[in-house]
Amino acid sequence: MKELNDEQVIYAFDKDGEPVLTVESGETVRIRTKDCFGNQIQGPDDVIDEINWDLINPATGPIYVDGAVAGGTLKVEINDIELDDKAVCCTGKDEGVFGDRLDAWSTHLCRREGDKIVWDDKIEIPLKPMIGVIGVAPAGEPVNCGTPGSHGGNMDNTAITKGATLYFPVSIDGALFGCGDMHAVMGDGEISVSGAEIPGYVTATLTALPELSLDNPIIVNDTHIGTIASAETLDEAADRAVHDMIDLVAARTGVAADELVMLFSLVGDVQICQMVDPEKTVRFMVPRYVLDAYDFSLE
Ligand code: CA
Ligand code: ZN
């Protein structure tokens, strides 16, 4: 298995980025990732106001995937997530949902002990390891790693866990994959503007699917298939995710759109990924048993 350290990071998903690693389609890579602060907050003496904001939201990469072509798809299977043992949480003035009532940055450092995050001497939180930033290079202008979009990026989606598979629309040959910004745990919405930010390792299998064409990222796990969309408002993002799902399933099963809308109204869940980044992200999750009944398949 190939390994990638965190010495080579990007701060934007960029079609002109210089690959730091090339893999064959179907290869698995173990990727070291920094936290969203670029590992600059190590202890109580590291003040968030004084960190270098040019080093925020690093993603490790980019990785060139042989066989990935513009107009096709990159399949990313998340085989494993390993976390370090120190996590940082933050909020601040004009950040997150409550930033209108704050006048300074705050940080809260916590330890990971086994499968728990120790918040204080009263509260231990079960781990829910997830990847905040993951994606490929978009067509056109580079997109900074703090902003999500149809290329992926800072989606802060709690469904991006070990065992999940992501599908990204590829805009440039090689795809130029990158990931970072892991969270030991985060609630849907990410209301403070951070999860339990933590460095670690992502192990992922990267497969080129040149025949599959998508508009936005898709997530598949043991129980659900989800469309992921980012837009200026949650309303627009939800709208796009639902439309993407109906279009995708109607095209592959031949079931009429109005029938699917009624069915998915019963079984599909619109879930907020994050509501605090420059674009907001929503996922629309439909259970696999429903799609299996129609012999739906993505690949
Ligand atoms: Ca994030
Ligand atoms: Zn984060």
Model confidence pLDDT, tens digit, residues 107-136: 999 999 999 999 999 999 999 999 999 999
Phi, psi of 72, rounded to the nearest 5 degrees: -100, -160
Please, what is the average pLDDT of the chain?
Answer: 97
Rounded Cα gap, residues 99 and 260, in angstroms? 39
Q: Which ligand is nearest to the CA of 156?
A: 1
Ligand 1 centroid to Cα of residue 223, in Å, is: 25
Three-class DSSP category at 253: helix
Residue 293 clears pLDDT 90, i.e. is over it: yes
Q: What pLDDT is stored for residue 32 in this prediction?
A: 98
Ligand 2 centroid to Cα of residue 128, in Å, is: 13
Contacts of 276 (CB under 8 A, 6+ apart): 95, 96, 97, 156, 189, 190, 191, 192, 193
Q: Which ligand is nearest to the CA of 183?
A: 2
What pTM did the predictor assign?
Answer: 0.98
Ligand 2 centroid to Cα of residue 27, in Å, is: 26
Residue 180 clears pLDDT 90, i.e. is over it: yes
Ligand 2 centroid to Cα of residue 38, in Å, is: 11
Q: What pLDDT is stored for residue 174 in this prediction?
A: 98
Rg (CA), the chain: 19
